Amino acid sequence: SQQGEEDPQALSIQEGENATMNCSYKTSINNLQWYRQNSGRGLVHLILIRSNEREKHSGRLRVTLDTSKKSSSLLITASRAADTASYFCATDVDGLTFGKGTHLIIQP
């Protein structure tokens, strides 16, 4: 069953701008993870935030988690053309359950 739902489904911004993607989920979780997928390739783990954490940073990435609203957001600052990819949130309950992803396009 689908747990996470990303919003928006697609996002196109100019290089240098910030990109924000949101994820909503339905049940209690152990942690929430974000992954990136370049076209047709394997997923790459970006960041994990545990259920007792509210915010986490990794380089240009900032993730927030609001367990009361069952939602998370991924912010990519100072975007680059190489950030063009699909981004997935995944909730860890009894293994990972993925959303359908946000397709991010960075215009040069």
Partner 1 sequence: EAQVTQNPRYLITVTGKKLTVTCSQNMNHEYMSWYRQDPGLGLRQIYYSMNVEVTDKGDVPEGYKVSRKEKRNFPLILESPSPNQTSLYFCASSSQLPGPLGNYGYTFGSGTRLTVV
Say if CB 23 and CB 99 are below 8 A apart: yes
- Amino acid identity of 44? V
Q: How far is the CB of 93 from partner 1 (least distance, A)?
A: 7
Q: Is 33 in the site for partner 1 (CB under 8 A)?
A: yes
Q: Is 21 in the site for partner 1 (CB under 8 A)?
A: no
| Nearer to partner 1 (CB atom), residue 56 or residue 60 | 56
Say if CB 23 and CB 35 are below 8 A apart: no
Return d(Cα 16, Cα 56) in angstroms, integer: 21
Binding site for partner 1 (CB under 8 A): 1-2, 30-31, 33, 35, 40-48, 50-51, 88, 92-101
